Each structure stands twice: as C-alpha cells, then as structure tokens.
Structure 1
Amino acid sequence: MTRFRALDGLRAIAALAVLTSLVGRHSDPPFGALVSRLDVGWAVFFAISGFLLYRPHVLAWFSGAEPPLTLSYLRGRALRILPALVVTVALCLLLGSSDAAYLRWALLTPLLFYLLLPGLGRLLTGYERPTRRSVRWRMLVLVALTVLGPVWMAVVTATGHPQARLWLPGYLGWFAVGMGFALWQVARATGRLGTSALDTLTRLPGTLWGIAAALLLIAATPLAGPFDQSEPAPAQALLKNLLYTVIVACVLFPVLTPTAQTVRVLGGRIGQLAGRLSYGVVAYQFVVLALVDAPFVVLLPVTLVGSVALAAVSYRWIERPLTRLGKNTAVARTVSSASNPTSNPAR
C-alpha cells in the first residue's frame, strides 16, 4: 500500500499548532489572536484521519475486494489511541486539570468518527461499480458533508444551543475533506477521473500553503468570532468553521502527490519520528499544562519538551508494544482462518 511519508511531518506541524493554541489559552501570548486560531491544527488532524482511514475502503471498492474487516479495524484503532487516552484522562483527573471539557471534546470527537467510519465507508463505496459517474456522485456527497460543519455551527448558535457546537456534525466536514481527497487520489491513480486544474495545483505547494496562511490571517480577525470562550454570532461561527475547512484543504492537498522537496522536508527521518509521536504530544500536553503555570514564553517550550518526553516514553513502552501485540494476534487469527476454511470472521 502507498506510504504517504509527507503526512508524518504535516501531522507533527498540526500537533505543534494545537499545542501552541492550548498554551495560549493558559497564558497571555503575544499575537494572541493568531495563536488562538492555531487550533486549526485539529482540522488538519481530522482531515488526515479521514484520508488514511477511508482510503482502504476506496481501494477495496475499486479493486472489487472485500472492505476492511470492521473488528480488525476497530481493534487497531483502539490499540493505537486508547492507551495514551486512558493515561492522559487518569492523570488529568488526578491532577485536577481545568481542561476537562476541552480534553473530552478533543479526544472523543475522533473516537466517534472512528466508530462511524466502517458504516460510512460501506455506504459510500457500495451498491454500484466504481465508474466515473459513481465516483463523481460520491464526491458530491462528500462535498455536501464539508458544508454540514459550517451550517451546523451557525444553526446551533442561532438557536441557543452552544454545547451542540462540540458535537461531531460540526467537525465532520474536516474529516470529509480527507475522505474526498482519498477518493480523488485513488480515482486519479486508476484512471476513473481525468486530468484537471487540480493536477496543476499539486505541483504548486507553496501557492496553496500561501493561500492557507492568508486565510488563517483572515480567521485571526473578529470576523471569525471572539478569541476566547465568549459566545460567537451565528455568522462568525459559520465563517470560522468554513475558513478552517478551506485552510485544511489547501494544506493537505499538496502532500498527497508531493514534490521531491516536500517529501524530503516533511517525510524525512525527523518528520517520520515526529509524526509517530504527534498523537502522544497532543494528548500529554494536557498533563503538562495541569502541572505548570508560567508566562507564555516559558510555558510553550516547557509544555513542548514535557509533552514530547511523555509521548516518547508512552510510544516506546505502551503504544508500540500494544500495537505489535494486536498485529501479531491478527496474523495468528488470519493463519488460523486460512487453515480452517469453515470459519467466518465478523465484519
């Protein structure tokens, strides 16, 4: 299966952006408006997850193979994310972290998407052959999902239900961006879709990243709402979510068919290591912030170093061993099923 090495570095950058924005919530940072909008890193994380997790469904659809096994997929996801999640939540409860609500949203929103993905993947890749028409129809469905997030944010804000802004529909559009790119990438690689202007854009990563930076500056204005936890207007809630959706599309797209320089910068040895630790950094930052109280210029490097250290220890002694154990168990079950043709593994 294709290895998208540049995604590792992009995932690490997203983790750094998320960490910086959360540190800004705990201190009084310079350029506070821009720092607060670095929570766009969450959108990048969600889009990468949508791309990587939906792509196997698309590959199976195009090749006429069976879709990924649901139980194997869920087991793999659980072994990858639950260990660090459980440790983080336990330590935050023990330390009396003030980020309990934010932690619950940040770590449970992806979990909900992971649980929905097998059904969503089957729904979008079943019922007909992968012709050019069927691919375009599914692309339209995924585009519609990207619109759902901004509309949801505006509606729940206008109707006085601010807690509903924390629910999955408000962020499903960011996952859908990655899913749409997965469908486009496989369709282009197999000839189901012809060339278009998008192919030209893949060779201009600097242009797309420049557009993303410009949109982030627009998001760092009052047009996209307050920079703290104050209540936004419906139009502000819609615009912020929409800007983040377009930003993540501009950031992610060039990495899917990267230039050689992009791979060297984002997909080198350092980028790959940082990408492996990125989830742990995002999780364990909550633990460090529960322990340290300092000005932004001190709190940022302390939180970064502490989170990286905890993530490295967790990955080496908890996450990687459990992931390998899960893979070995899956291999053993596959061998057992092959030797027993009457078995029928659950899907």
Structure 2
Amino acid sequence: MTRFPAVDGLRVIAALAVVVSQVGLQTHAPFAGVVSRLDVGWAIFCAVSGFLLYRPHVLAWFSSTEPPLMLPYLRGRALRILPALLITVALSVAFVEHPATTYLEWAVLTPFLFYLLLPGLGRLLTGYERPTRRSVQWRLLVLVALTVLGPVWMAAVTATDHPDAGLWLPGYLGWFAVGMGMALWQVARATGRLGPSTLDTLTRVPGTLWGIAAALLLIAATPIAGPYDHAPATPAQALVKSLLYTLIVACALFPILTPTAGTVRLLGGRPARIGARLSYGVVAYQFVVLGLFKGPLALQLPLTLLLAALLAAVSYRFVERPVVRFGVRRKNSAVAKTDNSATSPSSSPAR
C-alpha cells in the first residue's frame, strides 16, 4: 500500500482543530478547556509528517535499496512549505499590528529542524543490519523511547524557567516519533517481519481508538494539563499535557495504517483530498485573518475559516502548486541530462 487516503481527512481535522483553538484563545470562547486543547492539531501534523517522511526510509531498508537522496528531499520540502510561509510572514508584518511571531517561529524552527535531521535519523535507524524481527523490534523500542523525550523536555524547560526552549524541536520530537514508529510497524507488519498481534485488532475498531482519543482530550481539558491561555504552567502540568497529546495522536493516527472501508469513506474522499491540499495554507493564513478581524466566536470562527480557506486556495493555485511543479520539471530535466550524458557515445578516436 503506497497511499493512505485517510491521512487526508486527518490533516483536515488537524487544521480545523488548530484554527478553532486559535480563534477560541482570541475570543475567550465558552468551553475554554476543550477549545484550547484543540491545539493538539499541531501534534497530529507532526505525527503525520513523521509517518509519511520516514516510511520511504523504511521501505528502502526492507528492500535493500538506497534511501531518498538528501538534497532532492530537502528541496521538495522547501518548495512545498516556504512559499506559503513567506507570504504569511509578509502579510503579517505588513498588515497585522501584532504579528503572531510565536507560532510563525514554531512553524519555521520545529518542522524544518526535523526535516533537516530526518535523513540522518532515518539512516541511523534503518542501517547497519538486516531488517529482521529482532532489529525491527529494537528500533520500535527506540522510537517509543523518543516519545518520552517531549514530555520530559517540556517539564524541564518549565522547571528551569526557559519558556522559549519550549519551541525547540526536542519538545515535539516525540510526536514525530509516534508517526515514525507507526511507519516502521506498518511496513514490518505488511512484509511479514512482524507477526499478528493485538494491534491488528485495534486497526479494525477505529471508533474505539477515536473514542479513547476523545476521552483523553477531555482529561487534557481539565486543569491537570495546565492553564488554557499563555499563562505559565507547572512542570507537572507541562509533562501531563505533552504526554496526553502524544497518546491522543497515537490513537488518532493508528486506525489509518490499515483502514477499514468505512474509515476510507469517511476520511479519504474527494472533499478530504481537496481539504488536505489546503490544510497547510489554512493553518498559516489564519494568523493574518485573526490579526485583521476581531469579533465574537460565532462571527470570528466562520470568518476566519472562510477567509483563510480562500487565501489558501488562491495561494495553492497560483503560487504553491506552480512552484512545486517548476521544481519537479527542473529535477526531471537534470535527471534526463544525467541519463543522456551517461548513455551518449564517446567521441570518435582520432584517425
């Protein structure tokens, strides 16, 4: 299975959750606990990225082929992400009185550092030995251990009064590791490196896992996970919040690995595909809309969703997609030149 259609719906849900949490923070929405904790959408985005970007490394390991080349991979990431991000920064600086620099800094620092580290991390976790059951299990344990890093890091930076360090990659690496671990498990299970287990049963009951995720979200919505705004949390609250988000992400993502027909219908249809293409832009451009318009939740939320979606659609159609296609054409042209150079006859010998 090379495509996971239900991922599209999960991206749309993550984008909607992020927008609702940001609007709720600005408008002091009712049910503040649940609304504020919908920023778990950031964690879902991290896990999806970890799953999709690490999986090619696992496939290469299992098939004894070369992993994705680093420079083409980084170029592809930059072409997909930078255009909308740069437009958001420009619009925010030009039109917003108080730009949302905190989240923009997070959008730059955390994903890009992960993208830079992924080739080396992927090679470290998929090299040096054959993909046996034992080697797969060992690497799964390493990735599970990485999921603990985020909660510990958040507790540590809170305890030492270094809130800016909460934006650094270690605080979110555990969410990426959730997706990476699931990529390894899915490929290992599909190729027979891992045998059947109770995890297979869980993939057939997505509603149960999503119900657990909802229950965990309600627990996170209590004061046990800290304040609902930007007020400082205690180390214990920071740890609990990060840990709960990790568990929520795991429950949300796992059913899409081997989705049921109902899951595909629900999360993988054409509307989900279109929404997934725009999800990144919606999340980025919402900050501009929120900086320009103020109002009660009932007005602010639909207005933010509508305008952010319109900006995302225009940006995707006229900027992001053309830039990506230009990069693909350049890549194909370079490959063709290399192939022609390698197969062209050598010059005639002097007579």
8 Å contact kept, 1:29–1:297: no
8 Å contact kept, 1:142–1:177: yes
- Paired with 1:274 and 1:101, the residues of 2 have a C-alpha distance of 25
Gaps of 5+ in 1: 343-347
8 Å contact kept, 2:17–2:41: yes
Shift of 1:295: 0.9
What's the Cα RMSD here? Answer: 1.1
Return closer, same or farther for 1:98/1:26 CA change in 2, 3 Å cut-off. farther
More deviation, 201-210/117-126: 117-126
8 Å contact kept, 2:114–2:169: yes
Letter in 2 for 1:5: P
Gaps of 5+ in 2: 344-351
Local SS of the residue matching 2:39: helix
Residue of structure 1 equivalent to 2:147 = 146
8 Å contact kept, 1:149–1:173: yes
Q: Which runs of 4+ in 1 moved over 3 A?
A: none
Shift of 1:329: 1.4
Among the aligned pairs, what percent are the same residue? 71
Shift of 1:338: 2.0
Residue of structure 1 equivalent to 2:317 = 316
Local SS of the residue matching 1:160: coil
Output the TM-score relative to the length of structure 1.
0.97
Residue of structure 2 equivalent to 1:8 = 8
Residue of structure 2 equivalent to 1:282 = 283
Shift of 1:33: 1.1
The yes-or-no answer on 1:33 pairing with 2:27 is no
Residue of structure 1 equivalent to 2:89 = 89
What does 1:179-194 align with in structure 2 at a 5 Å threshold? 179-194=180-195
8 Å contact kept, 2:150–2:242: yes
Residue of structure 2 equivalent to 1:108 = 109
Residue of structure 1 equivalent to 2:263 = 262
The yes-or-no answer on 1:65 pairing with 2:73 is no
- CA deviations 1:287-331 (Å, max 9, x no partner) are 111110111111000000000000000000001111111111111
Residue of structure 2 equivalent to 1:345 = none
Residue of structure 1 equivalent to 2:17 = 17
- CA deviations 1:9-29 (Å, max 9, x no partner) are 110010000000011121121
More deviation, 326-335/225-234: 326-335
What does 1:146-295 align with in structure 2 at a 5 Å threshold? 146-295=147-296
What does 1:291-302 align with in structure 2 at a 5 Å threshold? 291-302=292-303
8 Å contact kept, 1:24–1:32: yes
Rg (Cα) greater in structure:
2
- Paired with 2:332 and 2:29, the residues of 1 have a C-alpha distance of 49
Shift of 1:332: 1.6
- Paired with 1:99 and 1:238, the residues of 2 have a C-alpha distance of 25
Letter in 2 for 1:263: V
More deviation, 321-330/310-319: 321-330
Shift of 1:107: 4.0
